[in-house]
Amino acid sequence: QVQLVESGGGVVQPGRSLRLSCAASKFTFSGYAMHWVRQAPGKGLEWVACISYDGSKKSYPDSLKGRFIISRDNSKNTLYLEMNTLRSEDTAVYYCAKDRGSSGRNFFDSWGQGTLVAVSS
Amino acid sequence: SRELTQPPSVSVSPGQTASITCSADKLDNSYTSWYQQRPGQSPVVVIYQHNKRPSDIPERFSGSISGNTATLTISGTQTMDEADYYCQAWDSRTNVVFGGGTKLTVL
């Protein structure tokens, strides 16, 4: 059974940076694209970023491009999300999700439990 | 960018059929998927590629597509199906798009 465990969330002041991690296990991490998806309190799902199986392709919604950076270390089976210049509207539960395929244009077949990021002074 | 429109809420009586729609300006070249999210839990895929069901999802869940509208149908709805449901597709720039979500109430 696929396991995805996020960490790194917490309370952070506006304008600061934070890096989230997602430790993957029980599947061949290097063979699959991965995503970050967030959910603000009481709101719907919002896609944050995608990275291909080998890290060569990355994509973001226009609203986050330039502030958020997705990366991965296949030797450590770990996915990362670096979030810069954080704003109050970035407050959300951040999920990492596994793509069904290697390029990132499939569906999310496994999700982590999420990590809460609260941006507040 | 593509937008996916879902009804905010749907109500159904136990044992009846629930249908949740997901409308877009265009759904060409993009499969739709559906995710169930129970309160306090992470999302789970219940339908992918318009109408395929993961092996661990009950047969009462089905998906269909007609023109630019995808539909999730739950036959013989059970109280355990009460949850938020999200549709998901891709836009022409290979970015992920989610619908706004539908709260399914079983009463």
Query: How far apart, in whole angstroms, are the C-alpha atoms of residue A67 and residue A65?
Result: 6
Query: How far apart, in whole angstroms, are the C-alpha atoms of residue A14 and residue B87?
Result: 32
Share of chain A above pLDDT 90, in %: 91
Selected residue with higher pLDDT from B27 and A112: A112
Work out how many CB contacts closer than 8 A connect A with B.
56
pLDDT on residue A94: 98
Q: What is the CA radius of gyration of chain A?
A: 13
B42 closest CB neighbour out of A47, A100, A113:
A113
Segment among A19-28, B24-33, B79-88 with least mean pLDDT: B24-33
pLDDT on residue B7: 97
Query: How far apart, in whole angstroms, are the C-alpha atoms of residue B36 and residue B103?
Result: 10
Q: Cβ–Cβ of B35/A100 closer than 8 Å?
A: no
User: Which residue in A has a C-alpha nearest to residue B2's C-alpha?
Assistant: A61
Whether the per-residue pLDDT at A100 is higher than 70: the answer is yes
Tell me the two tokens of residue A97: 């999700």
User: Which residue in B has a C-alpha nearest to residue A103's C-alpha?
Assistant: B94
